[in-house]
């Protein structure tokens, strides 16, 4: 913390844990919230990260920890990208400037990091399900702690949230769901009257009267009883907009101003002191980026930022040296859509992250953002494909995992030509383990009918988008990493590739490196180093994992003493396809030394991408060391590389 920051945060300096917070007089909470907001802004300006969402829940975070007895009371954040204020108040203030840095705090909640994080999260719409699990376990143990799940209005677009609410409403276990509505997509305007109604409706006296009237109504015939119940609920719904939640079995309170502590505190106290009965939903309206003018004025409310200047808000983004893969995908897809009006694009709440914001600006009528609903996105694309459209499902690798059943049943079994554009393949840096694209080659490679491609550079990505657009024989996927390309010469437009054919980047005779995807540049660097040692090395870009270029693999196996396969994915992926082919055709029977190089069987923590690949053993010097080891060539530096990589076998918690 800077000296200037210390002088202006006297209340926050007295708070190390929520117990300290609860000892403050209520009159000091406004100042604490202001200091907490300033601390979040200052910290994220140093580290980068998710800013807008955290600024929007400063008062809400303060109020929850003030009213509830955390950590005995379980506070569960949905997605948890808004948890920076929570981390500052829960014993991690001194480490907040290590956020998202190697060896530092995770950008999300983590059970391994703090007892104040009872459930880890980074994907959306899990908090109500997890909270219900905590609540039922509490009931089974005879405990009496509270369970509070905070979920955003965006996360409420996912079906899992409604599945959980339906189950929670039926089980009637005591839990609190706080709907953080920061997009005004649900709530009517809020103000003094709304706050007054919310305070009354959440009070014990009102709920007692309501319960007494409900008991009295049981004396009447069932039709009259049901009519009275619905009249009461729908009357409250007219004022509050909570009818939907009531129908799911929740007692609805709100909307209230999530930045007004005078509104928040009495409602949360009433909710805390309620005994038994239905689960409660408290509807809070907040503003992303609240209290920081550059964020309030930005279209994305500074959702995710690089390091920035606090005074001006200007982000310190490095000048790109090459086109980004995401930008290249968007450019290529626009070109294909200009040539074919059947090309459509679907994303699940990530138009900017996938580049479809650019596509949408050019073709708004052919762009569909379905919200945080990956399952629906995939089946929606399947329906489009049934009618002869050419849908591209642009979904991060880590998010596509959520729709695997739909990929299997609705796409693969029916052999529908859905095109999957899989961004964020491999390591992703500061977002860490929850956002890494580690598994898609494996989980898609097991499915019949799938064609799998991976781009070795940005020009290859353009060719693969063109190939996918032209391919109608079944589902096809192209994966590509986050960040900049290699700086290769770019074509005016992508050319359609021959399905199942790789390419040789450079020829050699002793060692062959067969790369699938984004490690191609490192493979070429490794070949240079091996050549400098007198070891002639071939580098090949597989391009396809399914169907495999069998002729290429056969030639590499027969003409080289050592064959390395390199991929930025988990075990069971590309190397498995290669080795199965080699084994089935007897190509392992005559002395070939094959060494698969893939992500290790452990989770790799957040860090700079190079350091993550260092931990994974997938950088150029690791390839050199692996080849030398296979050849039995003693090399102290190479042996040290292998030893260091093997020593990183322990899991580092996020």
pLDDT at 118: 96
* Structural contact between residues 326 and 482, judged by C-beta atoms closer than 8 angstroms: yes
User: What share of the chain in percent tops pLDDT 70?
Assistant: 87
Closest C-alpha among 68, 193, 90, 173 to residue 129: 173
Q: Which residues are annotated as a binding site for Mg(2+)?
A: 153, 182
Cα dihedral across residues 87, 90, 93, 94: positive or negative:
negative
**Could you give the residue numbers annotated as active site?**
288, 374, 402
> How sure is the predictor about 231, in pLDDT bands with cuts at 50, 70 and 90?
very low
Cα dihedral across residues 639, 643, 644, 646: positive or negative:
positive
In the predicted model, is pLDDT for residue 164 greater than 50? Answer: yes
- Rounded Cα distance between 156 and 588, Å, is 52
pLDDT at 5: 44
In the predicted model, is pLDDT for residue 1 greater than 50? Answer: no
Q: pLDDT for 403-450, tens place per residue?
A: 999 999 999 999 999 999 999 999 998 888 989 999 999 999 999 999
In the predicted model, is pLDDT for residue 78 greater than 80? Answer: yes
Average pLDDT over residues 1-22: 79
Closest C-alpha among 560, 638, 318, 602 to residue 436: 602
- Rounded Cα distance between 428 and 479, Å, is 13
Q: Which residues are annotated as a binding site for thiamine diphosphate?
A: 81, 122-124, 154-155, 182, 292, 374
* Cβ-based neighbours of 633, under 8 Å, separated by 6 or more: none
Query: Which structure tokens are listed for 46?
Result: 């140093």
Between these two residues, 473 and 371, which has the higher pLDDT value?
473
**Strand positions, DSSP E, 498-640:** 503-506, 511-516, 537-541, 544-546, 562-567, 593-597
- Rounded Cα distance between 134 and 368, Å, is 36
- Rounded Cα distance between 199 and 210, Å, is 15
Q: Do domains 325-481 and 503-647 have the same CATH topology?
A: yes
Question: CA dihedral defined by 280, 79, 569, 418, rounded to 10 degrees?
Answer: 70
CATH number corresponding to 3-182+276-305? 3.40.50.970
Q: pLDDT for 483-531, tens place per residue?
A: 999 999 999 999 999 999 999 999 999 999 999 999 999 999 999 999 9
φ, ψ dihedrals at 507, nearest 5°: -100, 145
Three-class SS of residue 50?
A: strand
pLDDT at 211: 54
Q: How many helices (H) and strands (E) would you count in the chain?
A: 28, 19
- Rounded Cα distance between 436 and 570, Å, is 11
In this prediction the pTM is 0.86
Task: For the chain, give the mean pLDDT.
Answer: 89
pLDDT at 205: 55
* Structural contact between residues 91 and 38, judged by C-beta atoms closer than 8 angstroms: no
How far the first Cα of the chain sits from its last, in Å, is 23
Query: Which structure tokens are listed for 180?
Result: 């953080």
Query: Which structure tokens are listed for 410?
Result: 């609705």
- For the 325-481 domain, the top CATH level (class) is alpha beta
Taking each helix axis as running N to C, give the angle between helix 192-201 and helix 222-240, from 0 to 180 degrees, rounded to the nearest 10.
Answer: 150
pLDDT at 489: 95
Q: Where are the domains of the chain?
A: 3-182+276-305, 325-481, 503-647
- Rounded Cα distance between 506 and 508, Å, is 7
Question: CA dihedral defined by 396, 401, 403, 407, rounded to 10 degrees?
Answer: 90
Q: Which residues are annotated as a binding site?
A: 81, 122-124, 153-155, 182, 292, 374
> How sure is the predictor about 278, in pLDDT bands with cuts at 50, 70 and 90?
confident
Cα dihedral across residues 166, 171, 175, 176: positive or negative:
positive
- Rounded Cα distance between 504 and 520, Å, is 11
In the predicted model, is pLDDT for residue 3 greater than 60? Answer: no
Q: pLDDT for 310-325, tens place per residue?
A: 988 888 888 888 899 9
Q: Which CATH architecture has domain 503-647?
A: 3-Layer(aba) Sandwich (3.40)
Choose the weakest-confidence range: 107-111, 223-227, 500-504. 223-227
Choose the weakest-confidence range: 134-143, 332-341, 434-443, 630-639. 630-639
Taking each helix axis as running N to C, give the angle between helix 636-647 and helix 620-631, from 0 to 180 degrees, rounded to the nearest 10.
Answer: 110
- How, if at all, do strands 593-597 and 562-567 pair? parallel
Give the count of alpha carbons within 13 A of 541, CB side only.
Answer: 19
């Amino acid at each position: 913390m800077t000296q200037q920051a210390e002088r202006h945060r006297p209340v926050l300096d007295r708070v190390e844990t929520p117990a300290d917070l609860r000892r403050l007089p209520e009159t000091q909470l406004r100042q604490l919230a202001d200091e907490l907001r300033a601390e979040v802004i200052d910290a994220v300006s140093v580290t980068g990260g998710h800013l807008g969402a955290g600024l929007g829940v400063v008062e809400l975070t303060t109020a929850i920890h003030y009213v509830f007895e955390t950590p005995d009371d379980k506070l569960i954040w949905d997605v948890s990208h808004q948890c920076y204020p929570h981390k500052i108040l829960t014993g991690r203030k001194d480490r907040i400037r290590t956020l998202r840095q190697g060896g530092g705090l995770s950008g999300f909640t983590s059970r391994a990091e703090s007892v104040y994080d009872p459930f880890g999260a980074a994907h959306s719409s899990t908090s109500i399900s997890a909270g219900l699990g905590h609540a039922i376990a509490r009931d089974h143990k005879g405990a009496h702690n509270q369970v509070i799940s905070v979920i955003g209005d965006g996360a409420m677009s996912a079906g899992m949230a409604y599945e959980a609410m339906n189950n929670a409403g039926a089980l009637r276990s005591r839990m609190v769901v706080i709907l953080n509505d920061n997009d005004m997509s649900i709530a009517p305007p809020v103000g003094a009257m709304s706050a007054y109604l919310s305070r009354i409706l959440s009070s014990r006296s009102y709920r007692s009267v309501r319960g007494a009237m409900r008991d009295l109504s049981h004396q009447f015939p069932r039709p009259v009883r049901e009519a009275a119940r619905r009249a009461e609920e729908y009357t409250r719904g007219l004022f509050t907009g909570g009818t939907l939640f009531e129908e799911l079995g929740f007692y609805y309170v709100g909307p209230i101003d999530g930045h007004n502590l005078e509104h928040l505190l009495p409602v949360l106290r009433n909710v805390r002191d309620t005994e038994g009965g239905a689960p409660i939903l408290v509807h809070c309206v907040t503003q992303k980026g609240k209290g920081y003018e550059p964020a309030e004025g930005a279209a994305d409310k500074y959702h995710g930022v690089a390091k920035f200047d606090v005074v001006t808000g200007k982000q310190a983004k490095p000048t790109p040296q090459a086109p980004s893969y995401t930008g290249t995908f968007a450019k290529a897809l626009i070109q294909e859509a200009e040539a074919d009006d059947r090309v459509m694009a679907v994303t699940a709440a990530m138009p900017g992250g996938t580049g479809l914001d650019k596509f949408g600006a050019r073709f708004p009528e052919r762009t569909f953002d379905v919200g945080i609903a990956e399952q629906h996105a995939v089946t929606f694309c399947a329906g489009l494909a049934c009618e002869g459209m050419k849908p591209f499902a642009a979904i991060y690798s880590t998010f596509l995992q959520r729709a695997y059943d739909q990929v299997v049943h609705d796409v693969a079994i029916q052999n529908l030509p859905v095109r999957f554009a899989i961004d964020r393949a491999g390591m992703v840096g500061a977002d860490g383990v929850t956002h890494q694209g580690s598994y898609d080659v494996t989980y898609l490679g097991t499915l019949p009918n799938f064609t799998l491609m991976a781009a070795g550079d940005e020009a290859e990505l353009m060719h693969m988008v063109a190939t996918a657009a032209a391919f109608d024989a079944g589902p096809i996927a192209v994966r590509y990493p986050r960040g900049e390309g290699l700086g290769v010469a770019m074509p005016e437009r992508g050319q359609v590739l021959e399905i199942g054919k790789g390419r040789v980047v450079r020829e050699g005779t002793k060692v062959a490196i067969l790369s699938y995807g984004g490690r191609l540049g490192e493979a070429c660097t490794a070949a240079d180093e091996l050549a400098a040692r007198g070891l002639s090395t071939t580098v090949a870009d597989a391009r396809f994992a399914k169907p495999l270029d069998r002729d290429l693999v056969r030639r590499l196996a027969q003409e080289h003493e050592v064959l390395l396969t390199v991929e930025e994915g988990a075990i069971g992926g590309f190397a498995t396809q290669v080795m199965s082919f080699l084994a089935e055709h007897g190509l392992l029977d005559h002395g070939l030394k094959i060494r698969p190089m893939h992500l290790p069987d452990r989770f790799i923590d957040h860090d700079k991408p190079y350091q993550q690949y260092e931990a994974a053993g997938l950088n150029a010097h690791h390839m050199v060391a692996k080849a030398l080891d296979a050849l039995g060539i003693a090399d102290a530096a190479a042996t040290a590389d292998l030893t260091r990589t093997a020593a990183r076998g322990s899991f580092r918690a996020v």
